Amino acid sequence: MSYKRVLLVILIISISGLLVYSLIQMEESATQRTAESRPVALPYNWMGSITKERIAEPSGITYHPMRRSLFIADDSGSIYELNLQGALIQAKGVNELDIEGITMDPGTGLLYVAVEDDEAILELEPETLTVKRDFRIGRSFKGKQLLKKGGMGIEAIAFVPDASHPEGGTFWVGNQSFSLKEKDEPSVVCEVVLPLRSETTKKSVGTIINAYKMNFIDISGLAYDAQDDVLVLISDTTNLLVEIKREGTILNKYLLPGNEQEGITLDGLGYMYIAQESGEIIKLGDKRLR
């Protein structure tokens, strides 16, 4: 084969490779646009409500794998622990604060609740529901105020464990907004670092290290899906469940059953629990594709 023919073959192979790469990128881009704009029905098995006694206004929920129970926060500032059949184990008020979300650190078993008005995260003992520490979140990221004082405030929280992280992991919070206009308060999820391991003082400050604007309003609940390493957001107003990567990319949008969805948690055993503002705790068999 002549030298020119070899060069021609190499050129053809290179061009073909670039075309294939371009087609793949176009397909991924189209898939991304579809995920961001067109929700589909959530695949699930309906297990029904597990509520034995109604909680006034549930605002957040988390599963505690060590205690094999659910912790629910409500708008009046109370925390409830229920077993997986919905029976009450304990309940306690937390200083009449506006608590809008709850999560836990599987490395320590400690609970963390999001306080809307103060943009604060409180650390609680799960055995007694006693407050141990108080963390305030810095409101700005890259010179722009995301969590506006006097605004709608943080409405959702999830902890993402990371054994290699000096603090054991990071928190993600969702800022509630009912507008997508540039001048208004942003509908945004923020990654926040708190000095969980590096400090022992009762009051400390956390820092926003990443932030991503969402293209939907009213982030009302947030959970971490460890199996797929994705964040799961819910929106009450739009009845959506949204999966996003920790880099901010939206993967899927699903239409949620029920109404007034204020909190979501996954138990790692194939079930999700949704706290509804009406007082119901709904259990669903999770059938999303793995």
The reply to whether 86 and 58 lie within a common domain is yes
Task: Map tokens 């021609």 to a residue.
Answer: 8
pLDDT for residue 247 is more than 70? yes
Containing structural domain, residue 29: 1-38
Provide DSSP, 104-135. E-TTT--EEEEETTTTEEEEE-TTT--EEEEE
Please check whether residue 81 is in contact with residue 89, taking contact to mean a CB–CB distance below 8 angstroms: yes
The reply to whether 159 and 272 lie within a common domain is yes
The reply to whether 139 and 27 lie within a common domain is no
More confident residue, 224 or 29: 224
Please check whether residue 263 is in contact with residue 58, taking contact to mean a CB–CB distance below 8 angstroms: yes
pLDDT in tens, 96-142: 778 889 999 999 999 999 998 788 999 999 999 999 999 999 877 78
Q: What are phi and psi of 187, to 5 degrees?
A: -85, 100
The pLDDT assigned to 8 comes to 65
Alpha carbons 101 and 207: distance in angstroms, whole number: 18
Structural domains of the chain, count = 2
More confident residue, 153 or 40: 40
Please check whether residue 233 is in contact with residue 174, taking contact to mean a CB–CB distance below 8 angstroms: yes
pLDDT in tens, 66-107: 999 999 999 888 999 999 999 999 999 987 778 889 999 999
The reply to whether 9 and 82 lie within a common domain is no
The reply to whether 48 and 18 lie within a common domain is no
The reply to whether 15 and 102 lie within a common domain is no
The pLDDT assigned to 30 comes to 43
pLDDT for residue 264 is more than 90? yes
The reply to whether 111 and 217 lie within a common domain is yes
The arithmetic mean of pLDDT across residues 265-273, rounded, is 95
The reply to whether 27 and 46 lie within a common domain is no
The reply to whether 14 and 93 lie within a common domain is no
The pLDDT assigned to 34 comes to 44
The reply to whether 47 and 176 lie within a common domain is yes
Report the CATH number that the domain containing residue 224 is assigned in CATH. Answer: 2.120.10.30
- When the pLDDT of each residue in the chain is averaged and rounded to a whole number, the result is 86
The reply to whether 78 and 202 lie within a common domain is yes
The reply to whether 197 and 71 lie within a common domain is yes
